[in-house]
Amino acid sequence: KNREASLPVPVSRVSYTITTDKFDALYKKLKPKGVTMTALLCKAVAAALRNHPIINAACTPAGDGIIYNEHINIAVAVAMPDGGLITPVLKDADKTDIYQLSRNWADLVNRARGKSLAPDEYSTGTFTVSNLGMYGVDKFDAILPTGTGTIMAVGGSKPTVVATEDGKIGVERQMTVNITTDHRIIYGADAAEFLQSLKAVIENPDDLTM
């Protein structure tokens, strides 16, 4: 149903490569304290979205205007055991500390799989994340959910040989993210500027714990 509703919407896609060494190190440090990678990634997305309200916006149902959302609610696609997807929402992800965000996520996933989420816990996302990195997927495109302006597809982080600034060869962990946007309201330059901000947050992630 969502796929059919999305078909008439013109979309734009932008891909970006992000170095994750510091982000992965931060996750390794926080994991024993109950922090999940999903919550940490959503926190990074929310931090970047603060400066790009158009990426957190949606097109009006009639297609002739823009709805700017006051809250940053990150929906995350979760596969259900019996098939299909549901998108539990981490509400106000920019304002919630990473530890509470992780507890909220664990609770949402548990209740999602038990099919006990309230409608506003899976239908109020303003930005959607779909992560297939844990399956070994490098990169993919995701279908834009109805009523939102952007979805981000996240691939896995893997060691990559790179040329350093001083001309030497090094190895960095990198991941590729692809975002699909509603082209009626969000242009390629908007998406690229958001991804630049996201890259900056993930490559220098210390502020995510504040």
| Collapsed DSSP state (helix, strand, coil) of residue 76 | strand
Q: What are phi and psi of 120, to 5 degrees?
A: -75, -5
pLDDT in the model for residue 3: 47
Residues of the chain with pLDDT under 70: 1-7
Is residue 139 within 8 A of residue 130, CB to CB? The reply is no
Say how far apart CA 37 and CA 33 lie, in whole Å. Answer: 12
Q: Does the predicted TM-score (pTM) go above 0.85?
A: yes
Of the candidates 138, 143, 48, which has an alpha carbon nearest to the alpha carbon of residue 87?
Answer: 143
CA distance 95 to 88: 17
pLDDT at 210: 80
Looking at residue 107, its pLDDT comes to: 96
Looking at residue 1, its pLDDT comes to: 45
Which one from 22, 183, 184, 199 is the annotated catalytic residue? 183
**The predicted structure's pLDDT at residue 134:** 86
Q: What is the pLDDT of residue 83?
A: 81
Coil, helix or strand at residue 61: coil
pLDDT score for 79: 87
Is 183 labeled as catalytic in the residue annotation?
A: yes
Return contacts of 79-83, CB within 8 angstroms, 24+ apart.
Answer: 80/112, 80/113, 81/113
What stretches of 1-132 show up as alpha helix (H) in DSSP? 2-6, 21-30, 37-49, 98-113
Structure confidence at residue 4 (pLDDT): 46
What pLDDT, on a 0 to 100 scale, did the predictor assign at position 65? 95
CB within 8 Å of 119: residues ≥ 6 apart: none
